[in-house]
Amino acid sequence: MATMKVTEKYEMTEADKKYECEKTFMGEGTPTAADFWKIAKDDHPGVQMVMGQKDVNLAGPVKVLSEGEYPVKYKDVYLRPAQARKIFEEKGWGTVAALQLRNPMHRSHEYLAKIAVEVCDGVFIHSLVGNLKPGDIPAEVRVKCIDALVKKYFVAKNVLQGGYPLDMRYAGPREGLLHATFRQNYGVSHMIIGRDHAGVGDFYGMFEAQEIFNKIPTPAEKGKALVCKPLKIDWTFYCVKCDGMASLRTCPHDKSDRVLLSGTMLRKGLSEGTPLPDHFGREEVLDILREYYAGLTEKVEIKTHSAATGK
């Protein structure tokens, strides 16, 4: 993959690792260290990643030799930043909103993307094709689902699908900032931030990933500020009484009238073979996912969280 000229090595004690976890992964859902550590080692993939590191880290300049399997495995969607910027320029897109995806695209994702198309020149449906936690759906299946949606439910000139090789950390608000930084390199002007962006379980507040953009400092040094701005969108769902997609900002009805849409609930329902509510997803997408789950020999338990179930 790469070579490194080692210029530094340093110890990572258990206390160091715990400090990193608390600074990176603690959120409003676990406001104190005691709350956090009651569940973090068992339920947070990012914590497990950090705590599983060896005791010594190496650092130094890296020379990249290969991009691994990504350019070949995802050749139809894999884009480097310069390639994406060139396509945006060719399309004449001055403002571009990115939709971060690690789950298959359900009706709420589709609605978010179409809101973005209404206020920006185009939307960049940008799937993460790196490593995910057990139970998440592989990138090749998600890409196939997006293809089905884009071809039938979007105006082709206003949308672009891409993939990028980042691993998920499930760091909620802080990962939202990381995602926006990466998208800025791709030439994106806005990052769609909806409910529980990059979250897992109940570690974060529903809109904590939106609020963090108001808290980051503005550097005095020119060119250091985050240029990619959040496109903050409220909780979206299908409302029976509205007879369409809506959000908490537009729908006056009771939650009993709403079909709450969640990637976690989608995966749980499909994994367990339970019927999904009407308007949860497009049938073209659900057919692809049912085929995927039917072919699994081992299934991982999907844990739900309070936001996903509307509690």
pLDDT at 270: 80
Domain 70-232 CATH superfamily:
HUPs (3.40.50.620)
pLDDT at 70 over 70: yes
Residue 297 pLDDT > 80: no
| pLDDT band for position 306 (cuts 50, 70, 90) | low
Alpha-carbon gap, residue 161 to 171, rounded angstroms: 24
Q: Are 242 and 253 in contact (CB under 8 A)?
A: yes
- Interacting residues of 12 by C-beta distance below 8 A, sequence separation 6+: 53, 54, 55, 56, 57
pLDDT bucket at 232, cuts 50 / 70 / 90: very high
Average pLDDT over residues 262-286: 82
- Is residue 97 a contact partner of residue 190, using CB atoms and an 8 Å limit? yes
Instruction: Confirm if 126 and 100 have CB atoms less than 8 A apart.
Output: yes
**Given the residues 57, 80, 103, 142, the one annotated as active site:** 103
Return the DSSP state at 35.
H
| Confidence at 299, pLDDT banded by 50, 70, 90 | low
User: What is the chain's mean pLDDT, rounded?
Assistant: 91
What percent of the chain has pLDDT above 90?
76
Is residue 254 over pLDDT 80? Answer: yes
What band does 72 get if pLDDT is binned at 50, 70 and 90?
very high
Mean pLDDT of 278-307: 78
To the query of whether residue 103 is one of the catalytic residues in this protein, the response is yes
| Angle in degrees, CA 196, 279, 125, rounded to 5 | 50
Known catalytic residue at 158 = no
Q: Sorting pLDDT into bands at 50, 70 and 90, what band is 265?
A: confident
Confidence check: pLDDT of 221 > 80: yes
pLDDT tens figures, 200-211: 999 999 999 999
Domain spans of the chain? 17-54, 70-232, 236-309
**Which residues have C-beta within 8 Å of that of residue 8, sequence separation ≥ 6?**
58, 59, 60
Q: What is the pLDDT of residue 216?
A: 93
60-64, 128-132, 183-187: least confident range: 128-132
308 has a pLDDT exceeding 80: no
Give DSSP secondary structure letters for 110-156.
HHHHHHHHHHSSEEEEEEE-S---TTSPPHHHHHHHHHHHHHHHS-G
Model confidence pLDDT, tens digit, residues 100-122: 988 888 899 999 999 999 999 99
Quote the pLDDT of residue 234.
Answer: 94
- Whether 305 shows a pLDDT value over 70: the answer reads no
Report if pTM > 0.85. Answer: yes
CA 139/CA 164 separation, integer angstroms: 10
**Is residue 42 over pLDDT 90?**
yes
What pLDDT, in 10s, does the model give residues 137-173?
889 999 999 999 999 999 999 999 999 998 999 999 9
Q: Active site residue: 102, 169, 195, 267, which one?
A: 102
**What pLDDT sits at residue 94?**
97
Q: Which residue has the higher pLDDT, 241 or 296?
A: 241
pLDDT score at 300: 56
